[in-house]
Amino acid sequence: MSVGLSQERLDAKAKVTGRCRFTADLTLPGIRIAKYLHSTIAHGKVTSIDTSEALALPGVEGVFTFADIPKVPFATAGHAFNLDPAARDKEDRLLLTEHVRYHGDEIAVVVAVDGLTASKALKKIKVTYEEYPALLNHEQALDDTARELHDGSGNRVGEHSYQCGDVPAALASADAILKGQFQTQMVQHCHMENHVAWAYMDDTDHIVVMSSTQIPHICRRIVSQALDIPMSTVQVIKPAIGGGFGNKQDVVLEPMVAFLTKQLGGIPVMLELTREECLTSTRIRHPFRVNIECAVNNDGTLKALAMDVSSNTGGYASHGHSIAKAAGSKVVPLYPNAAISYQAITHYSNLPSAGAMRGYGSPQIVFAVESIMEEAARKLGMDSIDFRLKNVAQTGDTNPLTGKVIESAGIRECLHKGREQFLWDQKKQDHSRFNSACKTGNIRRGLGVACFSYGSGTYPASVEIAGARMILNQDGRVTVQIGATEIGQGSDTVIAQMAAEKLGIPVSAIRVVSTQDTDTTPFDPGSFASRQTYVVCQAVAEAGDLLRQRILEHASCMLEIAVDQLTVSEDAVIDTSDNVLLSLKDLALDAYYHKTRGQQLTAEVSRKVTTNAYSYGCTLVEVEIDIALCQLTILAIRNIHDSGKIINPDLAAGQVYGGVGMGISGALSEELLADPETGWIYNNNLLDYKIATMMDSPDISCDFVETHEPTAAFGNKSLGEPPLLSVAPAIRNAILDATGVAMNQLPMSPKALFTAFRAAELI
């Protein structure tokens, strides 16, 4: 039994001792350093660029501008290739640009013997611009007279809509209609390890790229596309990586380092972004403006939800409209019995480019949906949990968007468990007393709840494929190679547990090859969409079964006992009476080294997954607000998750703590600020960009409702992104509960609270 136990992370010791090596720890002797020249305006065109002084600086080996790069537009989104051309990502980028689309856009790059020289060279490049008005929001970007950021686009990246059920009829017949507009902000991933990649050539036509990427196999494809060279001539290697949260599901630096080494005779060239560059010139979360209507009956039935979304992707499409699309599809499985309509547009603007970020549109849409749900509950005079209990999905419901049955839905149990564990009803009474006892009304307490549903992978929007390879080592241990990428989330450990479970050996006997190398690693699109545990488990389980079978067949050959009389247990082959017959080590040595029988025992499975499964969960939060100080304190916060079978409870809890922490930070303080006139970014650093630290974080608690998802090898569902989805609306609802003030824009910072409290005449 390995699955379901809190196995220590395989990489725990390597990471706490500092022995784990990341991309920048694995460079080559003589590596050169590249640095970008970023635009100092948000919108415009370079009218002149003079690199001669930079090139003349000793130690500078190359300066390249938009004039020097291949004219092959490419998309950077980390999606598996789509056979349908219409479903592919917008190819709207070149390696460098003459047309500046946001403050920080890349117009040139310098390569030098060291970073200091490269920085000096950047300062010697002389640039002049023709500046255009900055288009920052929906109205500016989509105005008929607006200048196109990308020719022929009309500044539109994509739009789509869906409708489940008869929304107009439901709106017309409902007892009550609630309306609201919700706006989310620009936030950034702030993974610990900044973007870094380097490349060199080990042949006249073969480029090796080492990168901190979530998506090595996709990265390879995009590098080959951007440089217009065959895919087999590019090799991408992903070592240990210090977080990504979706920002490394974009191909940001790899095409450039590949281009540079190709230009410079194959010498190794590294690009390592600073935190400042990461904050503005990688990717951010799409700000959403959501207009939403909610129709309810007096008995508490949710009749309809109608959403109208505008998503702002900034200067380049990146994941573009996929995010608004994905966001819309994930509401339905939560409230499958309501009529739901969704329409969305994604537009360009002169803001930093938005891409994938944990939740992939869901945090934005859940903020709107769970806020309006709260308004409805209050309108009806219902308890917030009761109202949701009446409307959320249950196992056996049909997802109207796919027509498929929801095989496991534990959201009701999550709400029940949360209510009980959180002492919801008790606290409600206590707060009522507390708030009325507080004579001035200055200190208030409130409760909030919010729910979410989320997928496990990208199917059917994208192909879902995973590969696993296992090798019985000479010492009886098993090496596992998977295409799935460990990016800090603990997937290697969970995969080792799955493999151990199927093989019948302890996790300590599994070695997971954590480095992915496109030359040798089984194919897998990478780490995103909370897909890995769900999608990869199928391949791992099958490979485990296959290798175990091969082990038993060799044992049968050695022992002359029928295969069905044998099994693997711990480090040995045993018989049906639990007698140890043969150690796996002796078996392995025989398989490798017997002169006539046996072979290296391996198993390899590549497998597509044509199902998806919905995870559910909710956040319950208790806040105390000092109205005069506009200070919010989270007294308690608890997430309850239905992620199916929990493979590793401690790691699962760790995911939740991290996700909730990120959710709190995004709800209360984070915001990348752009000048409303010029589009200049004000706070591209961690001093001015307010990310919550440990000091800002309350105690976070969590629990699980373990449903069994029948489409997964171990009954498991997604958990990577879900923990943050319902945090912001739960806090928003708790503020409403405490103060009566509805915060419909993120972040709900002290400044925003001040504005809102003043408008409400609380201060």
The residue among 196 and 414 lying less far from its own copies, judged by its C-beta, is: 196
In angstroms, what is the minimal distance from the CB of 682 to its own copies? 36
In angstroms, what is the minimal distance from the CB of 588 to its own copies? 9
In angstroms, what is the minimal distance from the CB of 233 to its own copies? 8
The residue among 315 and 476 lying less far from its own copies, judged by its C-beta, is: 476
CA distance 550 to 133: 67
CA distance 5 to 656: 17
The residue among 41 and 603 lying less far from its own copies, judged by its C-beta, is: 603
Q: Which residue has the tokens 């390995």?
A: 2
DSSP string, 616-684: EEEEEEEEEEETTTTEEEEEEEEEEEE-BS-S-HHHHHHHHHHHHHHHHHHHHT----B-TTT--BS--
The residue among 465 and 500 lying less far from its own copies, judged by its C-beta, is: 465
In angstroms, what is the minimal distance from the CB of 592 to its own copies? 6
The residue among 142 and 231 lying less far from its own copies, judged by its C-beta, is: 231
CA distance 646 to 537: 13
In angstroms, what is the minimal distance from the CB of 263 to its own copies? 14
Cβ burial of 436 (10 Å; 0-12, 13-18, 19+) is exposed
The residue among 510 and 725 lying less far from its own copies, judged by its C-beta, is: 510
In angstroms, what is the minimal distance from the CB of 612 to its own copies? 12
- Of the candidates 497, 523, 522, 520, the one whose C-alpha atom is nearest the C-alpha of residue 510 is 497
The residue among 590 and 703 lying less far from its own copies, judged by its C-beta, is: 590
- Of the candidates 36, 761, 717, 665, the one whose C-alpha atom is nearest the C-alpha of residue 408 is 717
In angstroms, what is the minimal distance from the CB of 384 to its own copies? 39
Amino acid at site 564: D
In angstroms, what is the minimal distance from the CB of 461 to its own copies? 9
In angstroms, what is the minimal distance from the CB of 531 to its own copies? 14
The residue among 15 and 708 lying less far from its own copies, judged by its C-beta, is: 15
The residue among 263 and 683 lying less far from its own copies, judged by its C-beta, is: 263
The residue among 546 and 656 lying less far from its own copies, judged by its C-beta, is: 546
3-state secondary structure at position 380: helix
Q: Which residue has the tokens 């496109």?
A: 518
In angstroms, what is the minimal distance from the CB of 81 to its own copies? 5
The residue among 203 and 578 lying less far from its own copies, judged by its C-beta, is: 203
Structure tokens at 670: 């984070």
Tell me if 403 sits within 8 A of 320, measured CB to CB: no
Structure tokens at 311: 């998503």
Pairing state between β 404-405 and 572-575:
unpaired
CA distance 7 to 510: 12
* 472 contacts: CB under 8 Å, gap ≥ 6: 478, 547, 550, 551, 584, 587, 588, 591, 600, 601, 602
Q: Where is 608: in which H helix or E strand?
A: strand 602-608
Q: Which residue has the tokens 């839905």?
A: 409
Tell me if 734 sits within 8 A of 446, measured CB to CB: yes
The residue among 83 and 695 lying less far from its own copies, judged by its C-beta, is: 83
CA distance 422 to 425: 9
The shares of helix, strand and coil residues in the chain, as percent rounded to the nearest 5, are 30, 25, 45
The residue among 351 and 601 lying less far from its own copies, judged by its C-beta, is: 601
Residue 445, number of CB atoms within 10 A of its CB: 23
Q: Where is 168: in which H helix or E strand?
A: helix 167-173
* Residue 461 φ then ψ, to 5°: -65, -40
In angstroms, what is the minimal distance from the CB of 479 to its own copies? 6
The strand pairing partners of 354, in sequence order, are: 284
In angstroms, what is the minimal distance from the CB of 481 to its own copies? 6
The residue among 464 and 622 lying less far from its own copies, judged by its C-beta, is: 464
CA distance 541 to 467: 11
Residue 30, number of CB atoms within 10 A of its CB: 9
Site for its own copies, rule CB under 8 A: 11, 13-14, 17, 19-21, 25-29, 80-83, 200-206, 221, 224, 230-232, 266, 459-460, 462-465, 467, 473-475, 477, 479, 481, 511, 513, 517, 519-523, 589-590, 592-602, 604, 606-608, 610
The residue among 389 and 589 lying less far from its own copies, judged by its C-beta, is: 589
CA distance 394 to 81: 34
In angstroms, what is the minimal distance from the CB of 211 to its own copies? 17
- Distance from first CA to last CA of the chain, Å, rounded? 59
In angstroms, what is the minimal distance from the CB of 1 to its own copies? 22
In angstroms, what is the minimal distance from the CB of 210 to its own copies? 12
CA distance 644 to 622: 27
